[in-house]
Amino acid sequence: MKTKTGIVIMVLLVGIAIPKLTIHNIVSVDERLERCTQYATNEILDNPFQRIALKLGQSRIVETDGGNRVTIEVFTLFRIPLPERIVAFCDQVGIPEQSITVDKTGDSAAMYPFGITEDDIPKGWYMRRSQGIDNAYMVLTKDPNIPWPQSELGEFGEFILVEVHEIGDPEMWIESRVDCDDVALNRSCAWSFLNGRSHLRVEHETPAADAQTDYFLDYGRVAIAMLYPLDSDTETKTAYARFLYNIVAPIVGTAYSRTVLKENCTQDIPRELIDDSTTDYEAGIVTMYWWDGEVQENKNLTVPYEPETDFAGCSESVKEFLRHLPAELK
């Protein structure tokens, strides 16, 4: 009998520990909104069973409008979520002026912009978000306790910024936005294709420190990400690179990128000078590299890899090179 009682107690302790240790705010807020969250949760969960559920579990803030509204999720034993969210509207001293419950249409992933989910955020980073009239941006920080909003992004310390804008012609937009000839501001500009998307990487100055900004272009849309500061550690840069490839690039489509690739494919290449190439079979692109002795600089050209069409539309020199590439290993 004692053994069974001990097992029950152990299971109960584990059930309590799971939400206490694993549930954290998705967005960081100041002390005022933290206080308002506690008041609102206690106000809404006012029957004995709900109080017990909260006592044995944990709540978290999943969204804020950057001002006075917070959205809260509550979990009980074993991280079991309660069926409704709490939305609280807070006054300037942290007292809820109004608290309501709303049906959950899904988990907290639905609260992120651009189709990004909680699982997409690099480990150890926290999401902050605000929206403007014609664009939206999301800020990721490593410090979950930074008050929001900030008047200057530099106040976040180390951060990742993601923006999405609706634009017109992508070439005209990027030319008006980024001056790669301004070497005083932009340390380097490099065009490439990342995850099948036309990609411009710029290392540039900011008022506080240098940063890296990455642009992904499509007809009518651009996705922008910035890593600040540029001299972040290797672990941060690796996480950022994966975030760019897997999450930011797919925010835009590939129509414009395919147009650029097909235009590239019509160019002649100095096949005898090509000393390296990379093939992304999943994205269907090949990048060729060579040294141009005349201008004394490295050159590269990215083209579509479409062996099923026998590389139709490409120049003869490009076709000859592509035909000699090994087929994708299945």
CATH code of the domain in which 58 resides: 3.10.450
Distance CA 316, CA 248 (A): 35
What pLDDT sits at residue 102?
A: 53
The token pair at 86 is: 């709490």
CA distances from 329 to 171, 201, 244, 281, 326 (A): 36, 31, 26, 9, 8
In a shared domain, residues 86 and 152 = no
Q: For 81-90, how does the pLDDT look when each residue is reduced to its tens digit (9 = 90+)?
A: 887 778 787 8
In a shared domain, residues 130 and 99 = no
Closest CA to 323 of 291, 279, 275, 289: 279
The label of the residue with tokens 């002026």 reads 97
Of 252, 277, 299, which residue sits at a domain end?
252
Q: Total domain count for the chain?
A: 3
In a shared domain, residues 221 and 268 = no
In a shared domain, residues 265 and 231 = no
Q: Lowest mean pLDDT of 26-35, 107-116, 117-126, 308-317, name the range.
A: 107-116
In a domain, 114, yes or no: no
The token pair at 208 is: 């506080």
In a domain, 329, yes or no: no
In a shared domain, residues 263 and 245 = no
Q: Containing domain of residue 268, as a range?
A: 257-323
In a shared domain, residues 225 and 147 = yes
In a shared domain, residues 195 and 312 = no
pTM of the model: 0.65
Q: Region 204-220: what's the mean pLDDT?
A: 92
In a domain, 328, yes or no: no
In a shared domain, residues 154 and 179 = yes
Distance CA 201, CA 244 (A): 11
In a shared domain, residues 76 and 153 = no
In a domain, 266, yes or no: yes
Q: What is the β-pairing status of strands 159-166 and 135-141?
A: antiparallel
- 211-218: strand order across its sheet: 126-131, 135-141, 159-166, 221-228, 211-218, 197-204, 186-194
Q: For 63-83, how does the pLDDT look when each residue is reduced to its tens digit (9 = 90+)?
A: 776 667 788 888 888 888 887
In a shared domain, residues 245 and 265 = no
In eight-state DSSP terms, residue 219 is: T
E strand map for the chain: 58-64, 69-76, 80-81, 84-90, 96-103, 126-131, 135-141, 159-166, 186-194, 197-204, 211-218, 221-228, 274-280, 285-292, 297-304
Q: Is the pLDDT of residue 133 over 50?
A: no
In a domain, 330, yes or no: no
In a shared domain, residues 188 and 88 = no
Q: Is the pLDDT of residue 4 over 80?
A: no
Confidence of residue 260 (pLDDT cuts 50, 70, 90): very high
In a domain, 303, yes or no: yes
In eight-state DSSP terms, residue 82 is: P
Q: Is the pLDDT of residue 212 over 90?
A: yes
The token pair at 285 is: 């692109």
Give me the CATH number covering residue 207.
3.40.1000
What pLDDT sits at residue 330?
A: 46
In a domain, 110, yes or no: no
How many residues belong to the chain? 330
In a shared domain, residues 246 and 262 = no
Of 105, 129, 154, which residue sits at a domain end?
105
Q: For 154-188, how does the pLDDT look when each residue is reduced to its tens digit (9 = 90+)?
A: 566 788 999 888 888 999 999 999 999 888 888 89
Classify residue 124 as left (phi > 0), alpha (psi -120 to 50) or beta. left
Percent of the chain whose pLDDT exceeds 70: 86
The token pair at 310 is: 């026998």
